[in-house]
Structure 1
Amino acid sequence: MKAEIIAVGTELLLGQIVNTNAQAISQQLADLGIDVYFQTVVGDNPERLRQAIEIGRGRADLLVFTGGLGPTQDDLTKDVLADYLGRPMGIHEPSMRVIEELFSSRGAHMVESNIRQAHLILGEGSDPLDNSTGLAVGNGIEDSGTLYMLLPGPPREMEPMLLGPGTAWLRSKLREERPLYSRVLKFAGIGESNLEAALIDLIDGQSDPTIAPYAKEGEVALRVSTKASSEEEAAIKINATVSVVAQRVGEHLYAQKDVPIEDSVVELLRNARKRLASAESLSGGLFGELITRVPGSSGEYVGGVITYTNLMKHKLLDIPMSQLEGDGAPGAISESTAKLMAENVMIITGADFGVALTGVAGPAESEGKPVGLVYFAVAEKGKETVVYTSHFKGVREMVRIRAVKSALYRLWQALKA
């Protein structure tokens, strides 16, 4: 079954709100085995909405609408679709009672326009979709072989309706559709282009399962998907593909679920009963922020210091000023300073691992060193400290996040060793 999502609202076209509904709907339809081929955004204009319906009906079996079910005159979705299908509109009495009771309980006057939220497109194959968190009733319609599902625009109303009565209605209309099963593989320490190059023959020759890479800042994901009649059948097909991927780029594969690398790092620390501390310069606490986003990370992360200036590196991490300043000094942005930062924060805090980052985030060079130059070190009790050098491209925030994600990857490698 092919589907198209039609989001209705001029505020979407103006960029006043973000269309998060399309993502939620696409994910749910995929889980049901329904392929979303198109997403359309149309303003609160009856003629353009009618055009969108006409186009969508010609290329999809299911049209899913969000928005335009409210009480105001620009909430036109039901009106336009009813007119397009040549169907009458009526009142859904259960919804009408909810609206009346709400206004009565508040002692407020209900204006005529509020009745619009109880409107329902009538006729054979039309079903109401209850709204458990709002007032506007949804609608599911089967007409001349095409399915139409009307959902409210606010996400707090749309998602419960979609996942509850909307999904139940769709299941009742599905016949031999097989659900789509997916697994997300997460990689670090490798860029999207290099990952694709390593797997290009699989990507070019894919049929079932399908594989698709996509990048996040400092990480890359690979979605492996297949349609199957059961979870067990899907697992057999997906596992075969994952095995091939792992043979080629397993040293970068940190998770088989959609989690950031800091989650995997904390999990490895927890399993090994090890504790971590950090010392940051250019990243300004971003490393510690990502680690502490992980629930329960206080058991593994003892803390960190932000030593942005040389004075703080000297006072808090006991790094000699002769290391940081003066003729012939390596400077704060150096391999040897990163090494001392990682080792000293580990010693001072009593942690098992120390991670340090120092470098030039930009916008201008520092100590005569270029923007994007970063040194990060991983110290571990009883082992030789390892220092890495990288040159990151991009604006200041891109350099910082890429540096932190790279440091997390190197820590992950150390924990996996």
Structure 2
Amino acid sequence: MNIRTEIIAVGSELLLGQIVNSNAQFLSQQLAELGMNVYYHTVVGDNPTRLEQAIDVAKKRSNIIIFTGGLGPTKDDLTKETISNALGKKLVFDQEALDSIENYFVQSKRIMSENNKKQALVLEGSYILKNDFGMAPGMALEADQTIYMLLPGPPSEMKPMFKNYGREYFQKQLGFQEKIISRVVRYFGIGESQLETDIQDIIDEQVNPTVAPLAGDGEVTLRLTAKHVDELVANQLLNELEQKINQRVGEFFYGYEQTTLPLELKKLLIEKQKTISAAESLTGGMFSEQITALDGVSQFFKGSIVSYSNQMKAQILKVSPQTLQEYGAVSEQCAKEMADQIRKLSNSDIGISFTGVAGPEPHEGQPVGTVFIGISMQNRETQVYSFHFVGTRKGIRVRTVKYGCHYLVKLLTEIE
């Protein structure tokens, strides 16, 4: 079967820009892992005529059509009704879904309206996809050599429904025997274009396993996917591919799946039994906020000082007035003293500092994007890293924090 998949997102709020169509992105990633080609993304408002037109177009070019949204209890939730008319299929109550909805209202001591019953309606003869986190069930139906799948709009309902039931349906319906295993490998400190250049021959030669580069927030991730009837063999294929890639760009590797640089930093600080404190200027507490957003940070994080003005740098951090006068706050010398002083003041094993110009105007003769990051550690020479970032004020600050975490991770990895 030549799989041609189309995703139709239903909801006027999507067209108005009130919410982002994250469902389509999620489904495309999931379907790619299954080896299913997604050719089209369509968005249509809560209008039965336009939805019917979208269905007519999709039927001519796709043999799998997945709908998200429009399964709720309100008048503008018309996906089921419109597809029912388009396919000539009746809508019938799914008793299990109806019982679940009625039970919810009994337990919450609320009166159930007739509209809520509507959520239990399904296309006659369809395969029911259970909704573990909401009321409206999903469903799948094959008609005229086309598979139709209807999923709820809220991501909190749609994602687990597809992962737990939708994937299995497609695997059985399409006769997939191979297990599909994916692994996300994360890199920082190398641009997407450079990483692709370094592994271009691997990308060009890919068959099984495959590699897909993804970029976002100044980081690069690779999604490695292998297929095999034996899961152990599939994982071995991934191991071999990852090893081959990291022989070239392994110095930039820092973790897997949904991890983050602050989370990897936390793991290493706990593992190495090191404490840390921060002196922040241009980042304005952003580093500290990201660290303290993680649980268990009291084990290693002593605290921070946001020393935005030169007065605070001199009076609180004890940065030398001579340094500030001779070199300025945006300098290698100031970053070094800030890192050294915060480590000593807090009696931490490590002190990190951030100083620079986030914009929008130059400062002390330094252009926007000039950044210095200092890292001080007892019995080691203090290191200062200099950068010139391009982008918005927020973007410069975000990248500064990421690079701070990146160099701390590298430092801690080297420690015995």
TM-score strictly above 0.5: yes
Between the two proteins, the alignment pairs up a number of residues equal to: 411
User: Relative to 1, partners in 2 of residues 1:114 and 1:163: Cα closer, same or farther, differing over 3 Å?
Assistant: same
**Aligned ranges for residues 321-336 of structure 1 at < 5 Å?**
321-325=321-325, 329-336=326-333
Deviation at 1:101, TM superposition (A): 6.0
* 2:407 paired with 1:410: yes
TM-score by length of 2: 0.90
- Distance in 2 (CA, whole Å) between partners of 1:254 and 1:109 is 51
**Aligned ranges for residues 353-392 of structure 1 at < 5 Å?**
353-392=350-389
Q: 2:395 aligns with which of 395, 398, 406?
A: 398
Kept in 2, the 8 Å contact 1:117–1:137? The answer is yes
Deviation at 1:35, TM superposition (A): 4.1
Q: 1:36 aligns with which of 35, 38, 57?
A: 38
The answer for the alignment partner of 2:261 in structure 1 is 261
State which drifts further: 298-307 or 44-53.
44-53
User: Relative to 1, partners in 2 of residues 1:283 and 1:155: Cα closer, same or farther, differing over 3 Å?
Assistant: same
Q: What amino acid sits opposite 1:86 in the alignment?
A: G
The answer for the alignment partner of 2:80 in structure 1 is 78
Q: What amino acid sits opposite 1:410 in the alignment?
A: Y
The answer for the alignment partner of 2:52 in structure 1 is 50
State which drifts further: 65-74 or 131-140.
131-140
The answer for the alignment partner of 1:17 in structure 2 is 19
Measured against aligned partners, the alpha-carbon deviations of 1:9-56 in whole angstroms (never above 9, x if no partner) come to: 111111112223334434444455544343221112223222322333
Deviation at 1:98, TM superposition (A): 4.9
DSSP 3-state at the match of 1:264? helix
Q: What amino acid sits opposite 2:176 in the alignment?
A: E
Deviation at 1:358, TM superposition (A): 0.7
User: Relative to 1, partners in 2 of residues 1:397 and 1:109: Cα closer, same or farther, differing over 3 Å?
Assistant: closer
- Distance in 2 (CA, whole Å) between partners of 1:249 and 1:280 is 31
The answer for the alignment partner of 1:7 in structure 2 is 9
- Distance in 2 (CA, whole Å) between partners of 1:107 and 1:330 is 68
Kept in 2, the 8 Å contact 1:21–1:66? The answer is yes
State which drifts further: 101-110 or 218-227.
101-110
- Distance in 1 (CA, whole Å) between partners of 2:112 and 2:257 is 51
Q: What amino acid sits opposite 1:52 in the alignment?
A: A
DSSP 3-state at the match of 1:324? helix
Kept in 1, the 8 Å contact 2:184–2:224? The answer is yes
- Distance in 2 (CA, whole Å) between partners of 1:249 and 1:133 is 41
User: Relative to 1, partners in 2 of residues 1:194 and 1:163: Cα closer, same or farther, differing over 3 Å?
Assistant: closer
Deviation at 1:252, TM superposition (A): 1.0
* 2:211 paired with 1:205: no
- Distance in 1 (CA, whole Å) between partners of 2:323 and 2:349 is 25
Deviation at 1:114, TM superposition (A): 4.1
Deviation at 1:99, TM superposition (A): 4.8
Deviation at 1:360, TM superposition (A): 0.6
* 2:281 paired with 1:281: yes
DSSP 3-state at the match of 1:317? coil
Deviation at 1:160, TM superposition (A): 4.3
- Distance in 1 (CA, whole Å) between partners of 2:112 and 2:371 is 64
Deviation at 1:177, TM superposition (A): 4.7
- Distance in 2 (CA, whole Å) between partners of 1:323 and 1:315 is 13
The answer for the alignment partner of 2:183 in structure 1 is 183
Kept in 2, the 8 Å contact 1:30–1:179? The answer is no
- Distance in 2 (CA, whole Å) between partners of 1:128 and 1:388 is 57
The answer for the alignment partner of 1:316 in structure 2 is 316
TM-score by length of 1: 0.90
Q: Which runs of 5+ in 2 are unaligned?
A: none
Deviation at 1:307, TM superposition (A): 0.7
Deviation at 1:400, TM superposition (A): 0.7
- Distance in 1 (CA, whole Å) between partners of 2:224 and 2:50 is 37
Q: 1:110 aligns with which of 110, 113, 129?
A: 113
Kept in 2, the 8 Å contact 1:282–1:360? The answer is yes
User: Relative to 1, partners in 2 of residues 1:95 and 1:269: Cα closer, same or farther, differing over 3 Å?
Assistant: closer
Q: What amino acid sits opposite 1:121 in the alignment?
A: L
Kept in 1, the 8 Å contact 2:186–2:255? The answer is yes
Q: What amino acid sits opposite 1:293 in the alignment?
A: A
User: Relative to 1, partners in 2 of residues 1:133 and 1:267: Cα closer, same or farther, differing over 3 Å?
Assistant: closer
Q: What amino acid sits opposite 2:340 in the alignment?
A: E
% identity of equivalent residues: 43
DSSP 3-state at the match of 2:316? helix
Measured against aligned partners, the alpha-carbon deviations of 1:361-386 in whole angstroms (never above 9, x if no partner) come to: 11111111111111111111101111
User: Relative to 1, partners in 2 of residues 1:300 and 1:166: Cα closer, same or farther, differing over 3 Å?
Assistant: same
Measured against aligned partners, the alpha-carbon deviations of 1:285-323 in whole angstroms (never above 9, x if no partner) come to: 111122223332221222211111111111221112222
Deviation at 1:250, TM superposition (A): 1.3
Q: 1:90 aligns with which of 83, 89, 92?
A: 92
* 2:366 paired with 1:349: no
State which drifts further: 3-12 or 276-285.
3-12
DSSP 3-state at the match of 1:202? helix
Q: What amino acid sits opposite 2:124 in the alignment?
A: L
The answer for the alignment partner of 1:294 in structure 2 is 294
Deviation at 1:104, TM superposition (A): 7.1
- Distance in 2 (CA, whole Å) between partners of 1:272 and 1:280 is 24
Kept in 1, the 8 Å contact 2:226–2:235? The answer is no
Q: What amino acid sits opposite 1:284 in the alignment?
A: G
- Distance in 2 (CA, whole Å) between partners of 1:91 and 1:311 is 71
Deviation at 1:348, TM superposition (A): 1.4
Q: What amino acid sits opposite 1:285 in the alignment?
A: G
Q: What amino acid sits opposite 2:146 in the alignment?
A: T
Measured against aligned partners, the alpha-carbon deviations of 1:74-107 in whole angstroms (never above 9, x if no partner) come to: 2221122122222222333444455556667756
DSSP 3-state at the match of 1:4? strand
